[in-house]
Chain A
Amino acid sequence: MGGDNRYLGLAYVAPYIIGLLVFTAFPFLASLYLSFTDYDLLSKPEWTGLDNYERLMTRDRTFNKSLRVTLLYVFMTVPLKLAFALLVAVVLNYRLKAIGFFRTAYYVPSILGGSIAIAVLWRYIFAEVGLVNMGLEAIGLEPVNWFGDPQNALFTLTLLRCWQFGSAMVIFLAALQSVDKSLYEASSIDGANKWHQFRFITVPLITPVIFFNLIMQTVQAFQEFNGPYIITDGGPLKSTYLLPLYIYDKAFKSFDMGYASAIAWILFVIIMVLTLIAFWSSKKWVYYAGDKRS
């Protein structure tokens, strides 16, 4: 506000600055340092240069497997979840009377999603004699070994996250409702069908939200922990052993802090590179209307 001391604002954001330095910036740099050391909590960190990274890249087969599983998980979960969220949002956006009811119903799984109880539930309904297989048998299909078979386990975890498409859907819905209705009317006079309208009016106008959801969901998917930890414990045959699980085991079970930090940094670099690619490519496909806040 005018006339105030120009340092007054700094006083208000001071808590944030302290938090940023102590709980974000310092740990961020410290983990980079630790990733070049051997540190078992008992003696001081011992500088080993690139040893950790060299071991990870060339000799650690668990890391190799875990990295592949993680990438597969992210590339399955994110597109599926977003496509689902967008599809349901588009259907809900037709002037339906009960829109509020459905929005709530579809949002509930997202609200509860992170809970351990939901992971427990997933374990039960996808058990060999669980709800899903009982349902499949009732309609005459073969039961599936959802979590016991390494071929299926990762996909079953993906389903758990796709089931929680609600929050992405609510964001899509808010964006869809802000699209100017007169654009649709004008285009239908010009003879555009529903698909053309969706493809050439709706999608371009909501690209900022697609972009936002894409980034947030990707960053999150790379850090998935609760699902595999509770449901499969990384198995069978490490087919759901995502990198956050490996980091947790290395850091808090074998207390190999240096090595765990190196894995964390590789994960961070992958996320960062993908985010940067998304930002860089966004200039080509994300459309920002001149007068709208982003």
Chain B
Amino acid sequence: MTSTSPAKMRSALTATELKLRRQQRRGAAIRYAVLLVFGLIMLYPLIWLIGASFKTNSEIFSSPSFWPKEPTLDGYINGWQTSTPYTFARFFMNSALIIIPKTIGTAISCVLVAYGFARFEFPGKRILFGTVIATLLLPNVVTRIPQYLLFRDLGWLDSFLPLWVPSAVAGDAFFVFMLIQFLRAIPRDMEEAARVDGANTLQTLVFIVVPMLMPAIISVCLFQFMWTMNDFLGPLIYVSSVENYPVSLALKLSIDTTEAFDWNQILAMSVLTLAPSLLVFFVAQKYFIEGISTGGVKG
């Protein structure tokens, strides 16, 4: 016989196929290993932070391991008390008092405005939409000083109003932009049907658009929660008395007032400061990823 038998050919093929598959598997294994090691290096500071918050002060700077040799809650107990007349409970309360009204105001105003832009024609719309993009790129640093003077003249300093009010009038252009992007992707059939049935535009918004837009609205709320929780400069400028401090300012205060060697207190309070954001992120991460991929995000 001059030609090879079909059976032989098949086995030859599977041999090269096997080789190829082995190569692919090796490639994937290498990629996984690199990603894993790299990820570990990236996340190790956070892992270390959690471990170190349970360490004694003498141990913190003596070994790079995250595992505490003599676990202690001292950092949490003493850190929580702070050197002020207030405990961290008060500061978390203040943070909540800033975040909740701000987030609600943001969600309502941004939905109304995005609906206006995405579903209506009106005079000056193009220019106004242009200002949304311009505001998106406008550095806050250039408006901060007159804003401060404005709030001072209104008598709003050392209250939460300067932190709430700009957001309650759709001041965060990024969210308006993100919601418009989402709205453009939603077909209008349902809304038009509702209008034919006699619903006015507000009813259409509340009963038809909002339910469909819910994932995007949740994204907006989550981002606003996260950013407000992390915001430092806003409270630093506007909130001056310790009783009104949110956690970000309280943490800075702990650094400034804690005795030089009480590291575990500061680390423990850092963990608590990060905990709400981490928790929310892990519970709702799909909304973050969606929000980011649609609107693009800072951070």
Contact = CB atoms under 8 A, between A and B. Distances in A.
Given A1-B119, A20-B131, A121-B49, A219 B139 contact: yes
Interface string B142-153: 111111111000
B176 interface: yes
Contacts of A261: 145-146
A124 B298 CA distance: 26
A103 B166 contact: no
Interface in A178-231: 209, 212-213, 215-216, 219-220, 222-223, 225-226, 229-230
B116 A115 contact: no
A127 B128 contact: no
Contacts of B281: 108, 111
Given A23-B147, A125-B48, A12 B112 contact: yes
Contacts of B296: 171, 209, 212-213, 216
8 contacts: A8-B120, A12-B112, A23-B169, A27-B144, A31-B142, A116-B248, A135-B64, A170-B289
Interface string B105-139: 00001001101110111111100100110010111
A110 B146 CA distance: 30
Interface stretch (B4-12, B30-38, B68-76, B211-219): B30-38
A33 B298 CA distance: 30
Given A1-B201, A261-B145, A131 B48 contact: yes
A26 interface: yes
Interface residues of A, number: 95
Interface stretch (A54-62, A90-98, A284-292): A90-98
Contacts of A28: 138, 142-143, 146
A17 B109 CA distance: 11
A8 B122 contact: yes
B77 interface: no
Contacts of A114: 227, 230-232, 299
CB-CB nearest 5 A-B residue pairs: A9-B120, A12-B116, A19-B169, A9-B122, A30-B146
A125 to B, nearest CB: 5
Contacts of B137: 215, 219, 275
Given A108-B46, A121-B270, A131 B64 contact: yes
Interface in A1-30: 1, 4, 6-13, 15-20, 22-24, 26-28, 30
Among A28, A106, A121, residue most surrounded by chain B Cβ atoms (within 10 Å): A121
Interface stretch (A71-79, A148-156, A265-273): A265-273
Contacts of B150: 22-23, 26-27
A19 B166 contact: yes
Nearest to A225: B233
A164 B148 CA distance: 30
B178 interface: no
A20 B267 CA distance: 40
Interface string B169-202: 1110000100000001000000110010000010
A24 B141 CA distance: 11
Contacts of A22: 150, 169
A106 B121 CA distance: 42
A34 B149 CA distance: 11
A152 to B, nearest CB: 18
B86 interface: no
A143 B123 CA distance: 64
In terms of DSSP, what is the predominant structure of the interface of chain B?
helix
Contacts of B39: 102, 105-106
Contacts of A235: none
Interface of A: 1, 4, 6-13, 15-20, 22-24, 26-28, 30-31, 34, 88, 91-92, 94, 96, 98, 102-118, 120-122, 124-125, 127, 129-131, 134-135, 138, 163-164, 166-167, 170-171, 174, 209, 212-213, 215-216, 219-220, 222-223, 225-226, 229-230, 244, 247-248, 251-252, 257, 260-261, 264-265, 267-268, 271, 275, 293
A264 B146 CA distance: 11
Contacts of B43: 105, 108-109
B42 A106 contact: yes
B292 interface: yes
B248 A115 contact: yes
A252 to B, nearest CB: 6
Nearest to B223: A111
B278 interface: yes
Nearest to B299: A167
Interface in B226-256: 226-227, 229-233, 237, 248, 251-252, 255
Given A16-B176, A116-B232, A104 B285 contact: yes
A268 B230 contact: no
A15 B114 CA distance: 11
Contact of A134 (B35, B64, B121, B123): B64
